[in-house]
A and B are shown apart, each in its own frame.
Chain A
Amino acid sequence: MASETELTPSSYIGHHLTYLTKQVGEGSFWVLHVDTLVTSVILGVLSFGFIWLVVRKATPGVPSKTQAFIELAVDFIDKEVKNIFHGDRHALVAPMALTVFVWVLMMNTMDILPIDITAKILENVFGLHNWKIVPTTDINTTFALALSVWFLMLFFNIKVKGLGGWLHELFCTPFGKSPLVWILNLLFNFIEYVSKPLSHALRLFGNIYAGEVIFLLLGMWAATGISGTIFGAILGAGWAIFHILVVTLQAFIFMMLTVVYMSMAHESH
């Protein structure tokens, strides 16, 4: 920002929405958003490393405050999973839900950091001109998660019901076994399978991206002078407080959908 001579609203917003990219091969697909990947991996390593350090020394006796905190979070997630998923949840689904919730929550929470201050620090201390600090405003992240869940869903569908059972379900639900409705059933299931990852990924992306854009728009009040800056700061604070709810809620919804999809893969209609 400091290097730009002329600062217009579109260049301000554009600057904040530009990725730090790296070309890893030929063609437009082989581009890597370094900022998204590095930020999310750092957040994941920090949070799961922290949890690991605590549970490594977990005692069945009186827990420390930190352990109690982790246990509260785990117990909360475990209860939600138990209500929805009726298999051996400890093998994969419950730890996966924990991973999704914690990681998405951490990535979403980056949204609350003041965008311009972090941008300044990244630029002046680390020399990074473009760095998007909220990985979940990158549609690649949300689709990566949603599609991973989707593939796991397909995998468990076939593993639990068998290929035949799954195909049977594709053709014979929800309208019945009659050959007349096979095509209709298949169409229905196809739409369902397409819409699942789309809604899963886009819900998270849309909410967090919109939140980010609103922060940017509020940040532009600073261009109107002192009183505008104060007004924008008050609005920004209000939006940030509200955003705490959005951030947590979206992480929770994302986790719940993950559990629901995994549960549907394990249970036949």
Chain B
Amino acid sequence: MNINFTLISQAIAFSVFIWFTVKFVWPPLLRAIEERQKTIADGLAAGERGRHELELASHRSSDVLKEAKQRATEIILQAEKRASEIVEEAKKTAKEEGDRIVAGAKADIEHEVFSAKESLRQHVADLAVAGAAKILRREVDAKAHADLLAAIQEDLK
């Protein structure tokens, strides 16, 4: 239990081990740990950035969605308006066309009636002349009484 040369030898061994640790053990390990800390810090920062960007993107997407909905509503309204316009126009056109057809038909009918009347009148005049001729027999010269016959025909109109 006495102090002797062992103390000095142990002190030398101790200083060699300290030197070794300071020189070869501590720096590489510290470097590795610090580098890893940096990597982790970078990763965390990147994650945070990603989260922020996701938030922005979701904001943007909801904005876009809202706008699209609004546009769709506008388009639907316009389309409805246009559709009712088309229907109105079609109704109007159809009515005009119908009126026109009806008017044409009426004119035709009148014309037919008129020509029927005309031909009937001709027939009646002819019949009347024929009847008169039969009654009068030879007394009546068609040529001599042409003006009279024409006057009768004119009266029958």
Contact surface of A with B, Cβ cutoff 8 Å: 24-25, 28-33, 36-37, 40-41, 44, 48, 51-52, 55-56, 58-61, 63, 67, 70-71, 74-75, 90-92, 94-96, 98-99, 103, 135, 138-141, 143-145, 147-148
Closest partner residue, chain B, to A205 (CB atom): B1
Instruction: List the A side residues contacting B36 at CB < 8 Å.
Output: 60-61, 63
Q: Can you list 26 A-B contacts with CB-CB less than 8 angstroms, sorted by A residue number?
A: A31-B5, A31-B6, A32-B9, A33-B6, A36-B6, A36-B10, A37-B10, A55-B24, A55-B28, A56-B24, A74-B29, A74-B33, A92-B18, A96-B21, A98-B25, A98-B26, A99-B14, A103-B17, A140-B7, A141-B10, A144-B8, A144-B9, A144-B11, A147-B7, A148-B11, A148-B14
Within the complex, what minimum Cβ distance (angstroms) separates A80 from chain B?
A: 15
Query: In chain B between 12 and 45, which residues have their CB closer than 8 angstroms to a CB of chain A?
Result: 13-15, 17-18, 20-22, 24-33, 35-36, 39
CB contact under 8 A between A32 and B33, given known A51-B25, A147-B11, A148-B15: no
Question: A-B contact count, CB below 8 Å?
Answer: 124
User: Given A32-B6, A144-B10, are A55 and B18 also a contact pair (CB < 8 Å)?
Assistant: no
B25 touches A48 (CB 8 A): yes
Interface of B toward A, CB cutoff 8 Å: 1-11, 13-15, 17-18, 20-22, 24-33, 35-36, 39
Instruction: Tell me the minimal C-beta distance from A219 to chain B in angstroms.
Output: 20
Min CB–CB distance B68 → chain A (angstroms) = 46
Q: Is the pair A95, B39 in contact by a Cβ cutoff of 8 Å?
A: no
Nearest CB of chain A from residue B61's CB, rounded to whole Å: 36
Partner of A143, one of B3, B9, B27: B3
With A31-B4, A52-B20, A60-B36 as known contacts, state yes or no: A37 contacts B28, CB within 8 Å.
Answer: no
